[in-house]
Amino acid sequence: MSIVILTGAGISAESGIGTFRDAGGLWEQYPIEQVATPEGFAADPDLVHRFYNARRANAAQAEPNAAHRALAKLERQHTGDVLIVTQNVDDLHERGGSQNVLHMHGALNRATCSACGHTWPAPTEMHTTDPCPKCTAPSTRPDIVWFGEIPQGMNSIESKLRTADLFVSIGTSGTVYPAAGFVQSANALGLRTLELNLETSSGAFDESRTGPATQLVPTWVEEVLSQQRNSTKR
Ligand code: BV8
């Protein structure tokens, strides 16, 4: 069974990384337009670098939780493919042991150059005047997909959905497109769809389970692995 898993800020919430839209979420402290759009970056790059420097520090302090670790166990022990498509820009999936992770909204620990497209591991703090290590232009930015920009890996995601059997959405409000539309694509392609979230985001899923990710995800992973063990015994 090939599984595509979409994760959002909710899977990292219990690691202490703020979500976007829960009470007191990140976007309430910073208007999206100012810190997560190309226009906002052009208008005040110092503010945007401060926003991402703070988030990079916050993510570095955080530890992967039981949900991240359960998905890594699934990837190791499940006989079918497991792809994690994450909207998150933290590296908790990788630090929790997952290897097949696609950051469709970019990553805090990666930087890119607007002039030549070069990408490299981001320093702890980025500043507006940092020269690109490749072309030396002072046009470096966080390798993050802002609103109005095209998400990364869309072709891979779409081709993976076409051959998968199960689509699981974990810890996302289903607010941001195109990620929020993946469940519709999965339904149209005949995949089974499952949501594991603190609250039900939409009626689009075959099954929705509500609760914290650190409880729902390990339980679900154990179900998948025991079904796999039982089917191999027969
Ligand atoms: C695109 C990086 C074209 C930044 C992010 C009008 C004008 C312009 C654009 C648009 C428009 N209308 C629509 C759009 C498109 C726009 C969009 O969707 N806007 C929304 C606001 C309506 N999208 C875009 O611009 C995208 N690009 O469309 O390009 C295109 C498309 C396809 C093909 C070609 C071209 C780019 C969007 C990417 C923006 N960048 N992140 C950064 O991180 O700083 S989005 C940002 O929101 C994060 O990535 C975040 O992951 C994402 C979604 O939020 P969630 O992860 O869901 O987090 P949220 O707080 O919302 O929800 C948390 C959930 O967890 C909740 O449900 C909660 O109940 C649950 N939870 C909480 N605790 C727990 C829990 N669950 C379990 N356990 C817990 N403990």
The encoded tokens of residue 220 equal 């679900």
pLDDT in tens, 44-67: 999 999 999 989 998 999 999 999
Does the Cβ of 145 fall within 6 Å of ligand 1? yes
Q: Which residue out of 49, 93, 105, 127 is catalytically annotated?
A: 105
Confidence of residue 3 (pLDDT cuts 50, 70, 90): very high
What gap in Å lies between CA 182 and CA 87, rounded to an integer? 12
Does the Cβ of 87 fall within 6 Å of ligand 1? yes
Does the Cβ of 19 fall within 6 Å of ligand 1? yes
Equal fold, 1-16+62-105+151-234 vs 18-61+108-144: no
* Protein residue closest via CA to atom 13 of ligand 1: 177
Strand partners, 192: 166
What gap in Å lies between CA 66 and CA 214, rounded to an integer? 5
* Protein residue closest via CA to atom 50 of ligand 1: 87
Confidence of residue 26 (pLDDT cuts 50, 70, 90): low
Does the Cβ of 41 fall within 6 Å of ligand 1? no
Number of the ligand 1 atom closest to the C-alpha atom of 10: 65
Percent of the chain with pLDDT over 70: 96
* Protein residue closest via CA to atom 14 of ligand 1: 177
* CATH 3.40.50.1220 is right for the domain spanning 1-16+62-105+151-234: yes
* Active-site annotation holds for 105: yes
Of 156, 176, 196, best ligand 1 pocket probe by most atoms within 8 Å of the beta carbon: 176
Give 169 Cα–ligand 1 centroid separation in angstroms.
13
Confidence of residue 25 (pLDDT cuts 50, 70, 90): low
Provide mean pLDDT across the span 159-180: 97
Phi/psi zone of residue 164: left (φ > 0), alpha (ψ -120 to 50 degrees), beta?
A: beta
Instruction: Return the DSSP state at 131.
Output: P
Number of the ligand 1 atom closest to the C-alpha atom of 106: 2
pLDDT at 18: 78
Mean pLDDT of the chain: 95
* CATH 3.30.1600.10 is right for the domain spanning 18-61+108-144: yes
Number of the ligand 1 atom closest to the C-alpha atom of 88: 51
Give 90 Cα–ligand 1 centroid separation in angstroms.
14
Percent of the chain with pLDDT over 90: 87
Angle 185-17-218 (CA atoms, 0-180°, nearest 5)?
Answer: 60
* Protein residue closest via CA to atom 47 of ligand 1: 176
List the chain domain ranges. Answer: 1-16+62-105+151-234, 18-61+108-144
What gap in Å lies between CA 73 and CA 93, rounded to an integer? 11
Number of the ligand 1 atom closest to the C-alpha atom of 177: 18
Angle 127-148-46 (CA atoms, 0-180°, nearest 5)?
Answer: 15
Provide mean pLDDT across the span 70-99: 98
